[in-house]
Structure 1
Amino acid sequence: MSTTGQRGSGIAQPLALPSGGRIAVYVGLFVLGAVVGAAGALVQPGWFPGGLLLAVAGAAGLFLGGAQGVGTRAGAVVPAAGWMVAVILLTASRPEGDFLFGAGFGSYLFLLGGMAVAVMCATLGQVPQPDGSAVRLGK
């Protein structure tokens, strides 16, 4: 805190531990991210151009919705982590030689597009703005 009662930058703030309710929301977002990743992996090769767009749009909606709903960038990062875990596990081949992703152009677009959307949504996450008249926001 400064002498005028205003808070400093977000980097200088002490780390606050999330509450139990917020942890439950983050766990739910992680699981939902894994479900969206698995569903996208199944949908994107089925209807190639439309399925790919649907899968990436679903991931974008979840990531941006998580950021807006929680009000922090972690709201986008947590479901993106769940999405990434599901997608990475589905790309690994089994001992029998079976795997879900083919080596096609659409699979690579799904992987790279999902990661790019996750980065964009985490970057666009709402960051609290400083209070006070000394700050020149919107000028």
Structure 2
Amino acid sequence: MSNPLHALLGTRSQRLAEPLPSRRTRLAWYPVLFVLGALVALCGCFVQALWSPVGLLLALAGNLAVFYGGLRLTGTKLGAGFPILGWLLVLMVLMAPRPEGDFVLASGANSYVYLVGGLATWLVCVLPTRSTFPLGIPRQRD
């Protein structure tokens, strides 16, 4: 009996054997991943509050998809790092109080689970990479 995750994502040895994309391709993906991380944060803030508790799971699944997708697209930890930067930037803005006293991401159990869960999904995604270098970027002589 085969594992359905292996059919979807491949085995660890298959993922590690994949070649890294070219430097030019990786550099093109990083800004796109930053914007995707920001969009997922913006959408996640509203979805987790609107459709609790299913919305919270949907928002965390969106985080996981963007972080893991960035890792797989680039093969580097920076591929998961750029989305978390966009995600955190948007969340910091949305957590700041407005002069009217309104919050987009107010204090509450769902909001805290979304924040901690989003960071946990990023941490799960950033641990494995195909490269043995600290940032996942091998030195290339172009």
Instruction: Quickly name the TM-score band, shorter chain normalised.
Output: 0.7 to 0.9
Q: Verify: 1:124 aligned to 2:128, yes or no.
A: yes
Q: Verify: 1:61 aligned to 2:65, yes or no.
A: yes
Shift of residue 126 of structure 1? 2.9
Q: 1:106 aligns with which of 103, 106, 110?
A: 110
Matches within 5 A, 1:78-97: 78-97=82-101
Task: Give SS of 1:124's match.
Answer: coil
Aligned to 1:51: 55
Instruction: Give the TM-score of the pair, scaled to structure 2.
Output: 0.73
Aligned to 1:25: 29
Structure 2: unaligned runs, 5 residues or longer: 1-21, 134-142
Describe the superposition over 1:74-126 as per-residue Cα deviations: whole angstroms up to 9, x where unpaired.
Answer: 11111111111111111111112111012210000000100111111111233
Task: Give SS of 1:95's match.
Answer: coil
Larger CA Rg, structure 1 vs 2: 1
Describe the superposition over 1:58-88 as per-residue Cα deviations: whole angstroms up to 9, x where unpaired.
Answer: 0001100110111111111111111111111
CA distance in 2 between partners of 1:22 and 1:69 (Å): 8
Shift of residue 19 of structure 1? 4.4
Instruction: Give the TM-score of the pair, scaled to structure 1.
Output: 0.74
Shift of residue 20 of structure 1? 4.7
CA distance in 2 between partners of 1:122 and 1:55 (Å): 18
- Deviates most, 24-33 or 96-105: 96-105
